[in-house]
Amino acid sequence: MPRVGGAAGWCVFSVLPPPHSVQEGEDEWGRAMGSEPASGVGTRRRRERSPEEGLPAVHSRQWAMARRALMTVLLFSLILGGSLLLWGYVFKGCGPAHCEMPVCRDLLSLYLASGNTSVAPCTDFFSFACGNTNRTTSSFQALAKENKRRLQRILEAPGSWRLDSGEEKAFQFYSSCMDTGAIEGAGAGPLRQVIEELGGWPVSGDWTPLDFNRTLSLLMSQYGHFPFFRAYLRPLPTPPYTPVIQIDQPEFDVPLKQKQEMNYAQILREYLTYLNRLGTLLGGDPNKVGEHASFSISINSQLYQFLRPPEQQAQGKLFQMVTIDQLQEMAPAIDWLSCLQATFAPMSLSPSHPVAVHDLEYLKNMSQLVEKQLSKHRDFLQSHMILGLVGTLSPALDSKFQEARRLLSQKLGELTGRPPTVLHEELISDIPRVLSAAPWASWCRSQHIRGGSCTKRALLTKPAHPRWMTCVEKTAAFFKPTLAALFVREAFGPSTRSAAMELFTAIKDALIARFQMLPWMDEETRAKVQDKVTQLQVKMGAPEWALKPDPARQEYNDIQLGPSFLQSFLSCVRSRRARVIRSFLQPFPNHRWQVLPWGVNAYYSIPDHVVVFPAGLLQPPFFHPGYPRAVNFGAAGSVMAHELLHIFYQLLFPGGCPACDTHALQGALVCLERHYAAFPLPNGTFFNGSRTFLEDAADTGGLAIALQAYSKRLLWYRGETTLPSLNLSPWQLFFRSYAQVMCRDPSTQDPQDTHSPPTLRIHGPLSNSPAFARHFHCPHGTLMNPSSRCQLW
């Protein structure tokens, strides 16, 4: 009996005619084929003589033939009628069931809130899906915030977990961070204690000068502050990617190069105001504070002048390998061995130990400046280091220091036209500390990280945080193993991971199948592409250390909490640095994750041939095992396909596929460029097709591959569901879910973003899909049903 998906998974019914008619039809069919019923009712009924039984034989034969013909017509009519009833019952009666799970109701609320159904989907699908909400953040940013909310709920409910001693410290740290009353009550006292340990501050009049290099060593190793240069341990961005100490320029609070800023004088005034505020908060005499603050600005300005211009950074070497002994000769003001040994203990360093230097000329000039100031203004140099330390520690201080920092950031944003930034953001610890354009861009290219802009500015640009989010981020930075394990346990259990892997497998299979249909790809390239997909590693959800946490790694025996939050903060800074160093001293894994488990950025790493989808990305509203398949394939599935296509981006470059049909490939490339260029853009929206082309190709191909995978899934599995009250078929829901991922206010587009504006990320791929126009019944020639389409992927 035919079956279709229904509310309970299956609808079972019968369209057979009544038993009497069936048996008569079977008897007549049997006699026509020269056979007789074996026994039973049919045999007995044939022996009962009818009124027509006494007619001549010829009439009996004629009657039998007429009867057979009549029965054939009746049977055909019954089958046709039953088929019509079947069609109506399946597609009108059963149809897709409504998903009534709480996660589906939440998703429905999101779709109803963000969409604008008064707009015709065939003329403006972006407004149809995203036009009812002022989206100052993207869907990815909204998901990232929700993941932090989940971490907040975990940290604020310690009674819901069985905690060991290490996990308990994480909860205690978060609680102390949220205890703003205690932090405000302590005021600047804990910070003054730190300054005394460094020899005091000349402005306060209580100063016991320490050896300059001893002070510098303490600042670097105990407080994470690098006033003249930055040193960090990271893998080299080129093969063999071995960990090495890298030395680079310091982070500057403000740009202090006059030629680059129109409001240079005003920037200096705002920075001077900020430094004066810090000095007075520490109890310094205003006149003395102003003098020392001006000197600090002068030092920073001179250091800034030593930096290579960006164009020279791009043309120069990524780094230069030298030994510590050689570096000591070229920049003698710094006791390099002593400072680096203290910072990177328990590493064992010697004068012959190699280090990677990103700007040797800067270090030479910096050394000369330090030697000059040590001979003339040693007290001012101490003040410069102390003022910088206060800025570094401001996230752990009371609200007066944090407010001073926030005001500076706001003023600089207004004067430079850039968004406010978190200055000296010490909590971003799992990314390379490479500030110059060339090294940072090269590292991004080497890792080929996708799913977000791989730029220093993007990582440090943040709006003002509520207190809970600040404390979640600090706790996550210091107790990453603990929070990773708790987040995975809460948000990415075995069933969710299994469903995500099943989705990825369907997407990967569809990718391979789609490559078989590309008209521009030759058979040899197809075979190579298939081999590359087969050899690809996928990391889903979280690293192994989060999926199977080792309790020994979460003891945090070196962390001492209290008596003040600042002291707890500093203890955590030192503990984290030691853990990072120890991890680099261990055998280097095949792939070191570049995102946290609660992160939302998927990426593909070229060196490791690994694609990574963190657990934070595979969450509502992008993915849930209880969602309709249309949602999972349209949202998370299209993201997966997008990332997989980046593996083959080189095929699209000139000469990248020498055996392919270059004429057909070039035609497809030009077609896609023209397709995107034809769309109107909202006012204030930037679009540069040459810069966004790779992402545009991945968006368009990703949608097509996800759609192909979803179509195959519907053939093999029944029981599809949809969202109630949305009036969308499963196919329409697939496209709606794809668009939801791209929802964002177009006016927030960064001109340097490698992705197209959100309107194009929706209209470009969807209008290139004939299935979209068919399922939304778009008239030919409308925006979403153009006269021609492109097939690149």
Give the domain ranges of the chain. 3-95, 102-134+493-541+597-775, 188-432
> What per-residue confidence (pLDDT) applies to 456?
37
Structure tokens at 775: 């399922």
What is the average per-residue pLDDT within 3-32? 35
User: Any residues with CB less than 8 A from the CB of 278 and at least 6 apart, and which?
Assistant: 387, 390, 391, 401, 404
What is the average per-residue pLDDT within 148-164? 87
Q: Which of 93, 96, 6 lies closest to 729, judged by CA? A: 96
Domains 102-134+493-541+597-775 and 188-432 share a fold: no
Respond yes or no: is residue 36 known to be catalytic. Answer: no
Q: In 10 A of CB 10, how many CB atoms?
A: 12
Peptide bond into 724 cis (omega under 30): no
Structure tokens at 382: 């101490």
Cβ burial of 272 (10 Å; 0-12, 13-18, 19+) is middle
Q: Quick check: 164 pLDDT over 90?
A: no
47-85 residue pLDDT tens: 333 333 333 444 455 656 666 766 776 666 666 555 544
> What per-residue confidence (pLDDT) applies to 396?
93
Q: Which of 785, 690, 702 lies closest to 742, judged by CA? A: 702
To 5 degrees, how large is the angle CA 486–CA 491–CA 495?
115
Q: Quick check: 26 pLDDT over 70?
A: no
Query: What does the radius of gyration of the chain's CA atoms come to, in whole angstroms?
Result: 35
User: Any residues with CB less than 8 A from the CB of 548 and at least 6 apart, and which?
Assistant: none
- Type and span of the H or E element at 371: helix 360-376
pLDDT band at 418 (very low <50, low <70, confident <90, very high): low
Percent of the chain predicted with pLDDT > 70: 78
> What per-residue confidence (pLDDT) applies to 412?
84
Q: Which of 284, 458, 470 lies closest to 382, judged by CA? A: 284
Architecture of domain 102-134+493-541+597-775: 3-Layer(aba) Sandwich (3.40)
> With contact defined as beta carbons under 8 Å apart, do 498 and 595 qualify?
no
Specify the range with the lowest mean pLDDT, choosing from 405-409, 621-625, 637-641, 781-785: 405-409
pLDDT band at 24 (very low <50, low <70, confident <90, very high): very low
What is the average per-residue pLDDT within 499-519? 96
The residue from 253, 699, 720, 753 that is catalytic is: 699
345-379 residue pLDDT tens: 989 999 999 999 999 999 999 999 999 999 989 99
Q: What is the DSSP letter of 18?
A: P
Q: Which SS3 state, helix, strand or coil, does residue 456 take?
A: helix
Specify the range with the lowest mean pLDDT, choosing from 18-27, 125-134, 700-709: 18-27
Top pLDDT among 515 and 428 is at 515
> What per-residue confidence (pLDDT) applies to 316?
53
Specify the range with the lowest mean pLDDT, choosing from 490-494, 551-555, 667-671: 551-555
Q: Which SS3 state, helix, strand or coil, does residue 499 take?
A: helix
> What per-residue confidence (pLDDT) applies to 591?
75
The residue from 124, 359, 426, 643 that is catalytic is: 643
Structure tokens at 163: 């905690």
pLDDT band at 441 (very low <50, low <70, confident <90, very high): very low
Q: Quick check: 203 pLDDT over 60?
A: yes
> What per-residue confidence (pLDDT) applies to 62?
61
Q: Quick check: 328 pLDDT over 80?
A: yes
Q: What is the DSSP letter of 94?
A: I
Q: Which amino acid makes up residue 278?
A: L
C-alpha distances in Å from residue 497, one per residue of 102, 493, 504, 706: 20, 6, 10, 19
Q: Which SS3 state, helix, strand or coil, does residue 19 take?
A: helix
Q: Which of 186, 597, 204, 618 lies closest to 383, judged by CA? A: 204
Q: Which of 646, 372, 708, 276 lies closest to 507, judged by CA? A: 708
Q: Which SS3 state, helix, strand or coil, does residue 610 take?
A: strand
Q: Quick check: 298 pLDDT over 90?
A: yes
Distance of alpha carbon 299 from alpha carbon 294, whole angstroms = 9
Q: Which of 718, 709, 750, 733 lies closest to 504, judged by CA? A: 709
Specify the range with the lowest mean pLDDT, choosing from 238-247, 310-319, 548-557, 642-651: 310-319
217-260 residue pLDDT tens: 999 999 999 999 999 998 877 777 788 999 998 988 876 665 55
Please state the CATH superfamily assignment of the domain spanning residues 188-432 in this structure.
Answer: Neutral endopeptidase , domain2 (1.10.1380.10)
> What per-residue confidence (pLDDT) applies to 311?
57
Average pLDDT of the chain is: 82
> With contact defined as beta carbons under 8 Å apart, do 139 and 451 qualify?
no
What is the average per-residue pLDDT within 282-296? 91
Q: Which of 624, 635, 642 lies closest to 452, judged by CA? A: 642
Q: Quick check: 624 pLDDT over 70?
A: yes
Q: Quick check: 430 pLDDT over 50?
A: no
Q: Which amino acid makes up residue 199?
A: G
Q: Which of 288, 261, 119, 312 lies closest to 776, judged by CA? A: 119
Respond yes or no: is residue 164 known to be catalytic. Answer: no
> With contact defined as beta carbons under 8 Å apart, do 685 and 746 qualify?
yes
Structure tokens at 131: 């036009």
What is the average per-residue pLDDT within 526-539? 94
Cβ burial of 431 (10 Å; 0-12, 13-18, 19+) is middle
Q: Which of 679, 707, 708 lies closest to 125, judged by CA? A: 679
User: Any residues with CB less than 8 A from the CB of 206 and at least 6 apart, and which?
Assistant: 196, 200
> What per-residue confidence (pLDDT) applies to 756?
93
Distance of alpha carbon 478 from alpha carbon 489, whole angstroms = 19
Starting at the edge strand found earlier in the chain, the sheet holding 230-235 runs: 230-235, 243-248, 354-357, 320-323
Q: Which of 246, 251, 208 lies closest to 228, judged by CA? A: 251
Q: How far is CA 48 from the centre of its chain?
A: 81
Distance of alpha carbon 234 from alpha carbon 722, whole angstroms = 47
Residue 355's φ and ψ, nearest 5 degrees, are -135, 155
> With contact defined as beta carbons under 8 Å apart, do 315 and 350 qualify?
no
Q: Concatenated DSSP letters for 432-449?
A: ----SHHHHHHHHHHHT-
Structure tokens at 258: 């006059």
> With contact defined as beta carbons under 8 Å apart, do 359 and 307 qualify?
yes
> What per-residue confidence (pLDDT) applies to 21?
37
Distance of alpha carbon 507 from alpha carbon 706, whole angstroms = 6
What is the average per-residue pLDDT within 289-297? 94
The residues that bridge with 206 in the sheet, in sequence order, are 201
> What per-residue confidence (pLDDT) applies to 451?
37
> With contact defined as beta carbons under 8 Å apart, do 324 and 201 qualify?
no
